[in-house]
Homo-oligomer: A and B are copies of this chain.
């Protein structure tokens, strides 16, 4: 740890992702959670005097944030990221390239009209991605106001060329690569087709600490619906992985690629799944030379989730399905479990006044084996004052009924309930999924009118995610239909069957009803579906800041030969990027604010970077 201290050669970077500003903002209890946590994060950045904040996408929950979300966000940034603290690192890359999408294509802290103390860099996520004819995203409203530096946008849907931000502080050089959210299948395909290239500086090629920020599925949701770690190039030192909500912030080493991955996880619970029950953290990353150290910082303001599973059939000493009053007994038992979780929540909250007093509670009850569900609304009633999610404390499921072992390739249900399963043959699922890749095809199952309505409704509520859910539901439905028909899964057959299936539905009054059913089922699937088992993968969850120091890791310090060639499906260019420090830009009448003596506050002395070409 000694060698990565706070000196003039050490970058201090606050890392966070998936803040989801505005999530549940209308909720009376949880409405301000995301804003409070963003405040905590930025306050921390200020207190730790970091050089910059790096966000991994989904700063906003909604593609079109409300006025309140936007207002709160701007307030927090203006409060914590402006001021007289000097910014002591420089940008060596061509900012007109890094920020080519911006109307003010330079980093905000070098703008002479803004007194930025902590610049924020962010890629966009799938929630706040660019849409519409003008291709703007929510982050662009912040970036045009000079409050945030949005990078990692790519123009083409066929190929991606990532030109890194080249940052220098003292003798430390960071090449910061980023790529905003792209539909997983599309990016997967681009990787496979060698259409993802990462430009690398020619000079000092072995001196750069290479970071990469990505916002994609990391866990496998179907054959091509994620980005395998092995796709990422081995010249990288650290990958910051956004999008996945489970906190796995302690860098994990990928032994094939010889890089580390930190997955900070979301800073708000957006689904009542085990992954989200893991304590939320942000990270303080120190980089000196090619050494790094990541300190995990627990967040106090996050509303905690407590989750527990009961399998009734495994409690045969307590209940049997045909017992008299069995439902009352089960309810009493469940109540006791919830009380235990509430007690635990109370204990954990001691000494953390910032932590919201009402936790999120989820009790998953596996009632397979002949048991019956009971009225969960009435059950929840007694916890209304103590739980933040009284409406959905209980979740009934029949988990254990799927068969084990090798599956028949037509067993769609089993496939769907295990999105991450890896040994199964996924041919059918993939085929149908492929089929649904285009929006047109999604619409083919139901009449355009009904679907249009539903989609609009979803868009208004949960935007992107909801549409994904809908697609998943359509997928499932089609699969089931095809299974019932015992169709051989060829694309032609699928097409035919869907046509028939749809015709039979056309103008039916139940269509609306069915769609509503689809929503709740799809949501249930989602909550249940993000099924990384908490038991298996649990990390060290101690609330104390824990450090990981890697300064003496020889494997970690990459040899100079690494990253030269292409490996796997990734193509590299070795190419000069920045021409000179005092490069002229093509901004036309706007005067370039770079290197202005008043505002850039580059206190670097010593060697000029003119040799960097």
Q: Is A205 an interface residue (CB 8 A)?
A: no
Query: B residues within 8 A CB of A590?
Result: 79
Tell which of B68, B83, B136, B137 touches A136, judged by Cβ atoms closer than 8 Å: B68
Q: Are B113 and A144 in contact (CB under 8 A)?
A: no
Q: How far is the CA of A145 from the CA of B72 in the complex (A)?
A: 10
Q: A78-B104, A104-B78 are in contact. Are A144 and B71 (CB under 8 A)?
A: yes
Q: How far is the CA of A491 from the CA of B104 in the complex (A)?
A: 59
Q: Is A103 an interface residue (CB 8 A)?
A: yes
Query: B residues within 8 A CB of A78?
Result: 104, 113, 144-146
- In chain A between 101 and 119, which residues have their CB closer than 8 angstroms to a CB of chain B? 103-104, 112-116
Q: Chain B nearest CB: distance from A59 CB in Å?
A: 14
Q: Is A512 an interface residue (CB 8 A)?
A: no
Most B CB within 10 A of own CB, among A71, A115, A147: A71
Q: Are A141 and B71 in contact (CB under 8 A)?
A: yes
Most B CB within 10 A of own CB, among A67, A75, A83, A134: A67
Q: Chain B nearest CB: distance from A254 CB in Å?
A: 37
Query: B residues within 8 A CB of A74?
Result: 141, 144-145
User: CB-nearest residue of chain B relative to A68?
Assistant: B134
Q: Report the interface size for chain A: residues with CB under 8 A from the other chain.
A: 32
Query: B residues within 8 A CB of A140?
Result: 67, 71
Q: Is A442 an interface residue (CB 8 A)?
A: no
- In chain A between 138 and 157, which residues have their CB closer than 8 angstroms to a CB of chain B? 138, 140-141, 144-147
* Copies of this chain, whole number: 2
Q: Are B67 and A138 in contact (CB under 8 A)?
A: yes
Q: Are B67 and A67 in contact (CB under 8 A)?
A: no
Beta-carbon contacts of A48-90 to B below 8 Å, as 1s and 0s? 0000000000000000101110110011001100111000000
Tell which of B113, B136, B138 touches A82, judged by Cβ atoms closer than 8 Å: B113
Query: B residues within 8 A CB of A132?
Result: 66-68
Q: How far is the CA of A146 from the CA of B103 in the complex (A)?
A: 18
Q: How far is the CA of A145 from the CA of B79 in the complex (A)?
A: 10
Query: B residues within 8 A CB of A79?
Result: 590
Q: Chain B nearest CB: distance from A266 CB in Å?
A: 23
Query: B residues within 8 A CB of A115?
Result: 112-115
Query: B residues within 8 A CB of A137?
Result: 67
Q: Are A67 and B104 in contact (CB under 8 A)?
A: no
Q: Are B70 and A141 in contact (CB under 8 A)?
A: yes
Q: Are B64 and A67 in contact (CB under 8 A)?
A: yes
- In chain A between 522 and 573, which residues have their CB closer than 8 angstroms to a CB of chain B? none
Query: B residues within 8 A CB of A144?
Result: 71, 74-75, 78
Beta-carbon contacts of A567-599 to B below 8 Å, as 1s and 0s? 000000000000000000000001000000000
Q: How far is the CA of A134 from the CA of B67 in the complex (A)?
A: 9
Q: Are B71 and A113 in contact (CB under 8 A)?
A: no
Query: B residues within 8 A CB of A147?
Result: 145
User: CB-nearest residue of chain B relative to A137?
Assistant: B67
Tell which of B67, B84, B114, B116 touches A141, judged by Cβ atoms closer than 8 Å: B67
Could you give 6 example pairs across A and B, Cβ below 8 Å?
A64-B66, A71-B141, A74-B145, A84-B112, A113-B116, A145-B147
